[in-house]
Structure 1
Amino acid sequence: NGATEDGRSKLKSPSATLSTAEVISVVISGLAMAAHFGDGVMRAPDLAASLAGAIVKDPVHDRVVWQEYLETVVRERDEWQEFYRACRELA
Structure 2
Amino acid sequence: KLKSPSGTLSTGEAISVMNSGLALAAYFGDGTLRAADLAAGLTGAVIKDPAPDRVVWLEYLETVVKEREGWKDLYRACREVVE
Shorter chain as denominator, the TM-score bin is over 0.9
Count of residues in correspondence between the two structures: 82
TM-score (norm 1): 0.86
Could you list the runs of 5+ residues in structure 1 that have no partner in the other structure?
A: 1-9
| Secondary structure of the structure 2 residue equivalent to 1:42 | coil
Q: Does 1:38 align with 2:7?
A: no
Could you list the runs of 5+ residues in structure 2 that have no partner in the other structure?
A: none
- The equivalent position to 2:17 in structure 1, one of 26, 29, 35, is 26
Distance in structure 2 (CA, Å) of the matches to 1:14 and 1:66 = 7
RMSD: 0.8
Among all aligned residue pairs of Structure 1 and Structure 2, give the percentage whose two residues are the same amino acid. 70
Q: Post-superposition, which runs of at least 4 consecutive aligned residues in structure 1 deviate over 2 A?
A: none
TM-score (norm 2): 0.94
Structure with greater helix percent? 2
- Amino acid across the alignment from 2:69: D
